[in-house]
Structure 1
Amino acid sequence: MAIPEYPPRPGDRQPAPHVAICNHKGGVGKTGTAQGLITSAAEAGHRVLVVDMDAQGNLTRRLRARVPEAPEQRAAASLASVLQRPALGEIERILVPCGYDDPVYSERITIAPAHLELELLSHTAGLAASEKRLLRALQGVTEDFDVVFIDCPPNLLSHQIDIAWSASDVLVLPCEPEYDAVEAARRIHERVERDRHTLNPDLAVAGIVVNRYRPNLKIHQKREKDIYAIRGDEHVCPVKLHELVSMKNQAELAQPLRADGTDGNAAADQFRDIYAWMTKRITTVMENAA
């Protein structure tokens, strides 16, 4: 695979940013966008920690996380087990490597796998500081990584979201240019502004990534303007993802985009540019929040 090698970021660096990938609406390509960004980060030489907070576990599967084969063992080896009552840094005991064959990914991507029992965390929402559980579980572990991606479920007012956002520095919102998805992204912005002081005072939206864009559709042109209107041009990634066969194969076949030939390389190059934009936006947003 012809991927240029980049040196890892230096050891004397700022803590790894915690990036939550989220949208209130399902089906907008949230997990596919996360998958593309994660593999792009690895291709750039960055060490990536992936936290799959979505009980569906789609990102866990797509990255071929090496989880136990026996169904009865998977819950105990998952994030659901850790977040019941985590000790400091306990997430380390469940971390597994990405299962892609190429060491560009398998040696740089580490996963905290999801399990359906993550949905049971809602029963613990009334316990003191329960929304800080992921933050506690990650403490001391993220020092070995350059970036942490947290894939969120398509919720807004759930305990899983509270846990994920409490452990995040910034949010990145994949958004299809259609009415329901745009309104869902708007609701994310509104909740961050409304609840930041009680949930996570440093949390901010880094930006929106437009996904499944069809420039020949007038409705997509209209909704694109609505996306820019949410927070302004600087919050929207200038690279817009089109719906390509390689994007479908990335999800269906659980493989990196570059495994899919010419079309896959073109899509992966788009994600490379999106990841470069995203890292700059994160730096800007976090500096402004400091």
Structure 2
Amino acid sequence: MPNPDQTDPPQPRRPAPHVAIANHKGGVGKTGTAQGIITAAAEAGHRVLAVDMDAQGNLTRRLRALVPEAPEDRAAASLASVLQNPALGEIARILVPCGYSDQTYRDRITIAPAHLDQELLSLTAGTAASEKRLLRAMQGVVDDFDLIVIDCPPNLLSHQIDMAWSAADVLILPCEPGYDSVEAARRIHERVDRDRHTLNPDLAVAGIVVNRYRPNLKIHQQREQDILNIRGTEHVCPERIHELVALKNQEELAQPLRADRTDGKKAADQFQSVYAWMNQQIKTVMEKTG
């Protein structure tokens, strides 16, 4: 008989999923989607590491990352410095908290900030295993988090993309219901299918989030169907992110959606639904890949 005083040994903590937010086309709300998912995760009580792999640094600004005030000090305190030739876990030396006033976000969101000098990393792309630098820099450090979100530049073939995707388990694709955006999402799928074996054999597209959707527009309905046709209905988040004032204010004012007094609650609730769907998709995808 089992001993009633005996307790089960603690189960090993499941590694935090590494999610890259990507689309080949710029201006589709990629960083806004990353921002919405990150804040939704924090609201759900999860600790998030936001990795800004876009040299423009939009996610860094929008999360109000507490970076050095002096411009000359910012490159050394960013991924531009870390990714030149990182030691194991070196990303830890540049991590900073979110600067939102609400303690919920400050306590649960940590940022690896970007800098324009990240563009120069392409000069080192030919060195051995250079695409693994982000993965190397994060090793061990990510154990303290529940979710890793990597915001990617709007590229398809670049050294920053290779580093981001090599460090990711899955991709989430924000996609506007417009022709160019849909075709860009197709190209992401094609590159993952084509290069997975050389870049990251376990990488998969977890799904697409339809962004800036206006349900009354016939063209949006048509493009929505085009998005569903890429890989099927189950591949697309059922929650459509509508074009709301709060989403624009999130971007312009660098604030969480719930801070907005127009339709912030509606927008934030939509991202809670996106986050729940994303977690289920990640679980499904990672079970398939083993």
TM over 0.5: yes
Q: CA deviation at 1:195?
A: 0.1
Give runs of aligned pairs for residues 147-166 of structure 1, distance below 5 A.
Answer: 147-166=147-166
Q: Name the amino acid aligned to 1:246.
A: A
Give runs of aligned pairs for residues 225-264 of structure 1, distance below 5 A.
Answer: 225-261=225-261, 263-264=263-264
Q: CA deviation at 1:262?
A: 5.3
Q: CA deviation at 1:215?
A: 1.1
Match of 1:83 in 2: 83
Match of 2:16 in 1: 16
Match of 1:62 in 2: 62
Give runs of aligned pairs for residues 123-138 of structure 1, distance below 5 A.
Answer: 123-138=123-138
**Structure 1 outlier segments of 4+, above 4 Å:** none
Q: CA deviation at 1:11?
A: 8.2
- Does residue 142 of the first structure (1) align with residue 146 of the second (2)? no
Q: Deviations for 1:133-183, whole angstroms, at most 9, x for unmatched residues?
A: 000000000000000000000000001100000000000000000000000
Match of 1:174 in 2: 174
Measure the CA separation in 2 of the matches of 1:57 and 1:15. Answer: 27
Q: 1:263 to 1:11 in 2, by over 3 A?
A: farther
Q: Name the amino acid aligned to 2:70.
A: A
Q: CA deviation at 1:217?
A: 1.0
Match of 2:192 in 1: 192
Name the SS for the 2:149 alignment partner: strand
Q: Deviations for 1:170-213, whole angstroms, at most 9, x for unmatched residues?
A: 00000000000000000000000000000000000000000011
State the identity %. 80
Match of 2:3 in 1: none
CA contact (8 A) 2:245 2:262 kept: no
Q: 1:11 to 1:246 in 2, by over 3 A?
A: farther
Q: CA deviation at 1:12?
A: 4.2
Measure the CA separation in 2 of the matches of 1:97 and 1:121. Answer: 25
Match of 1:265 in 2: 265
CA RMSD of aligned residues (A): 1.0
CA contact (8 A) 2:246 2:262 kept: no
Structure 2: state its 5+ residue gaps. Answer: 1-9
Measure the CA separation in 2 of the matches of 1:31 and 1:239. Answer: 18
Q: TM-score normalized by structure 2?
A: 0.96
Name the SS for the 1:148 alignment partner: strand
Structure 1 or 2, whichever has the larger Rg, is 2
CA contact (8 A) 2:171 2:204 kept: yes
Measure the CA separation in 2 of the matches of 1:272 and 1:193. Answer: 29
Measure the CA separation in 2 of the matches of 1:163 and 1:286. Answer: 20
Q: Deviations for 1:230-267, whole angstroms, at most 9, x for unmatched residues?
A: 11111100000111111000010000000012510111
Match of 1:50 in 2: 50
CA contact (8 A) 2:88 2:139 kept: yes
When the two structures are aligned, how many residues end up with a matched partner? 281
Structure 1: state its 5+ residue gaps. Answer: 1-9
